[in-house]
Amino acid sequence: MPKLDICFSPELLPLYDLRGQVAVIVDILRASSTIVTALGEGVTHVFPVASLEECTAYGQQHGCLTAAERDGLPAPGFDLGNSPFGFLDAMRPVRGRALTISTTNGTAALRRSLAAAEVVVGSFLNLAAVANFAREQQRDVLVVCAGWKGRFCLEDTVFGGALAERLSADFDVRSSDATLAALHLWEQGKADLPAYLLQSAHVRRLNSLEASKDFEFCLRVDSYANVLPVWREDRLVMA
């Protein structure tokens, strides 16, 4: 039976051997949720980059949409911020366009996970797609939490618990203390996920920036149940 483990911070990735595994990159607030939304709304592919400079450069080089934020607000000079609602604006259709998105924590997590056999992006929005892919692959899975500046982050962890619950019949979810803890936290919070995560320091930071609409959107389980961003060469595309 394959194993599901959870890495709470990209800083801990050197302790894991990703070869042959599926890496699920998670940055619930908001990079992974926004990438899922973008592909779900018809964006053809996504280049995740760390810095604003790279974002500008990719935008020019590939003629694609650019999305960037700093300190929770849209960065000036880019087409979009990091809010998923940027991809739901009827006035600015995104279908058929490529995207480059600047996300510090998420890009770091993704780049450090490329030794894996498959790298996919997970969020509550596409939980079912991630679970189905894991079952098909029949490989060990490592959930890589982007965290916040390398530190443990509640919402990414709780996603790991939700995935572990979905996979508990097909995967060993009991042999790692990280997975056990994530399962416990998910079980505590799932009845009212927004209320549970509103305690989180990170969420409160986001909230104070009036991004609570994003917060609620990012917790809608399976609203893009068939959208699975997978890493191919240098970009994320639909599986």
Nearest approach in angstroms of CB 181 to its own copies is 6
157 touching its own copies, by CB under 8 A: yes
Between 187 and 222, name the residue whose CB sits nearer to its own copies. 187
- Whether 203 and 95 have beta carbons less than 8 Å apart is answered as no
Of 138, 199, 208, 226, the one binding its own copies by CB under 8 A: 199
180 touching its own copies, by CB under 8 A: yes
| Cβ-proximal residues to 170 (8 Å cutoff; 6+ apart), any chain | 1, 2, 134, 135
Of 151, 208, 210, 222, the one binding its own copies by CB under 8 A: 151
21 touching its own copies, by CB under 8 A: no
- Find the Cα–Cα–Cα–Cα dihedral 18, 23, 26, 32, rounded to 10°: 130
Q: 55-114: which residues touch its own copies (CB under 8 A)?
A: none
Between 133 and 148, name the residue whose CB sits nearer to its own copies. 148
185 touching its own copies, by CB under 8 A: yes
- Whether 53 and 174 have beta carbons less than 8 Å apart is answered as no
170 touching its own copies, by CB under 8 A: no
| Cβ-proximal residues to 149 (8 Å cutoff; 6+ apart), any chain | 105
Long-range contacts of 206-212, Cβ-Cβ distance < 8 Å, separation of 24 or more: 206/29, 206/30, 206/72, 209/71, 209/72, 209/73, 211/30, 211/72, 211/83
Of 78, 148, 171, 215, the one binding its own copies by CB under 8 A: 148
11 touching its own copies, by CB under 8 A: yes
Per DSSP, 86 falls in state G
In the complex, the residues that contact its own copies under the rule CB under 8 A are 8-9, 11-12, 14-15, 148-154, 157, 174-178, 180-181, 184-185, 188, 199-202
